[in-house]
Amino acid sequence: MAVQINPSILSADFARLADEAKAVEGADWLHVDVMDNHFVPNLTLGVPIVESLSRATETPLDCHLMIDDPDRWAPQYVEAGAGSVTFHVEAAAAPVRLAREIRAKGARASMALKPGTAIEPYEDLLPELDMLLIMTVEPGFGGQAFLDIMLPKIRRTRELISKHGLELWLQVDGGVSDATIERCAEAGADVFVAGSAVYGASDPAEAVRALRAKAEGTIATAGWACRH
């Protein structure tokens, strides 16, 4: 299983986004949190910033849409340069149709679940996706503490992925740090969004490398990965 580390630009200096993107060019993806002050109580980046970032870095953009009406807006983020677009199932009117549209436009399609949203009702949707995001904090703000109660949900999701033999990435987002990444990896995650753990470090690139090493070490001996 290939570990992927996605630094969250939400924790970067917004006055220096191009420089902050370059500071983590050893990362797999740059995670871009899009919030609309409706689906979540915060307002952040939109399509024009994604367009600018896509020109400023070689690192592909992983856009996480915490917004109402993603059925309308998600395709625009693909057109703006995102290589992966995540919509929240709680906000999507037609998640299968939306995932197929994102894929048809050339990006990876991902679906996110809030902490209180169970995975089981969406088992049949998994083949339509390239990635599933399990939120390990309530979406809307960076810097929150990791919710350990999400670990069983990560395990259940990994079991469903294995049950159907899918090559589906399992991402976690929220409170991921050197103190929590191993627990996430052991539970079944292989893609890790890290905000303050990367951009709060004196050397963001080294923080990415350290997080990757911890996750890789754990996955190498994790039961779920050995069975894959």
Question: Which residues are known catalytic residues?
Answer: 33, 173
Q: Is 228 labeled as ligand-binding?
A: no
Q: Is 31 labeled as ligand-binding?
A: yes
Q: Is 223 labeled as ligand-binding?
A: no
Q: Is 141 labeled as ligand-binding?
A: yes
Mapped onto helix, strand or coil, the DSSP state of residue 218 is helix
Q: Is 8 labeled as ligand-binding?
A: yes
Long-range contacts of 116-119 (CB under 8 A, 24+ apart): 117/89, 117/90, 118/153, 119/153, 119/156, 119/157, 119/160
Q: Is 195 labeled as ligand-binding?
A: yes
Strands 84-88 and 108-113: parallel
Q: Is 143 labeled as ligand-binding?
A: yes
Mapped onto helix, strand or coil, the DSSP state of residue 70 is helix
Q: Is 64 labeled as ligand-binding?
A: yes
User: How is residue 52 written in tokens?
Assistant: 């600018």
Q: Is 110 labeled as ligand-binding?
A: no
Cα(132)–Cα(170) distance, rounded to whole angstroms?
5
Packing angle, helices 70-79 and 95-104, rounded to 10: 10
Q: Is 116 labeled as ligand-binding?
A: no
Q: Is 69 labeled as ligand-binding?
A: no
Angle at 108 between CA 6 and CA 160, to 5 degrees: 85
Cα(104)–Cα(22) distance, rounded to whole angstroms?
29
Q: Is 175 labeled as ligand-binding?
A: yes
Would you say 12 and 36 are in contact if contact means Cβ atoms under 8 Å apart? no
Q: Is 173 labeled as ligand-binding?
A: yes
DSSP single-letter state for residue 221: T
Instruction: Report in angstroms the alpha-carbon separations of 91 from 81, 105, 107, 130.
Output: 22, 21, 20, 19
- Binding-site residues for a divalent metal cation: 31, 33, 64, 173
- Binding-site residues for substrate: 8, 64, 140-143, 173-175, 195-196
